Amino acid sequence: MGGAAYLGRGGACPAAVGERLLAMALPVPPGATAGKQPTDRPKNRTGVLNLDQYVAANYDPQWAETATRAAKERGFVTAACRAWKNPDGSQSQMMLVQYASATGAQAHYRGLHGLWTEDTSTTFFDDPDDQAAGLLHTKPIMDGMTYASLLTTRGNILVYVTHFTPKTPDRDTAQDLFHRQLSALAG
């Protein structure tokens, strides 16, 4: 778990912790355009996110209070998001969420895992090789994109990778990005 084990130690200020976390996210690949994820979440940001920004970027307004409370209870420290649009029109997002302890990251994972397995509008899959869960969303969202997401924890970090594509979710590309992100975290 290389660099992930040292985040937040040594009395680093939250901004420095967030910048180190962002440095662990996959870089924008050559030819891609850095930016926001699909337009159905216009408040979504990239870069280092505080709790309010993280909640606004990832939860619909009716869930904001519940999500904020849960993140605080889990020991939310910071989040980092890097997203880009690929030349083929697909979009990718790397979201890393740091908690004060591995217990917090695991609690977030279990919460999302439970929601994903209950969602009958999506296809859930386990990825035991990576101790991860995956989700395929085949119904296009507002901008016409479908998506494949994978989720796991590494130490006190929740790793959440999503790849958006028109028409059909691309599980293979999402898993490739996920594996590359896990390798980047391992240092």
Per the listing, tokens 């680093």 go with: 12
Q: How many residues belong to the chain?
A: 187
Widest CA span of the chain, in angstroms?
A: 47
CA separation for the pair 70, 111 (Å, rounded): 10
Q: How many domains does the chain have?
A: 1
CATH (domain of 131): 3.40.1000.70
Residue 165 has pLDDT above 90, yes or no: yes
Is pTM, for the whole model, over 0.95?
Answer: no
Domain of 160? Answer: 2-186
User: pLDDT per residue over 27-52, tens digit each?
Assistant: 999 999 997 544 444 455 688 888 98
Mean pLDDT of 168-173: 94
CA separation for the pair 27, 47 (Å, rounded): 11
**Both structure tokens of 52:** 């309010």
CA separation for the pair 88, 187 (Å, rounded): 29
Mean pLDDT of 72-99: 94
Phi/psi for 46 (5° steps) reads: -115, 165
Q: Which amino acid is at 151?
A: L
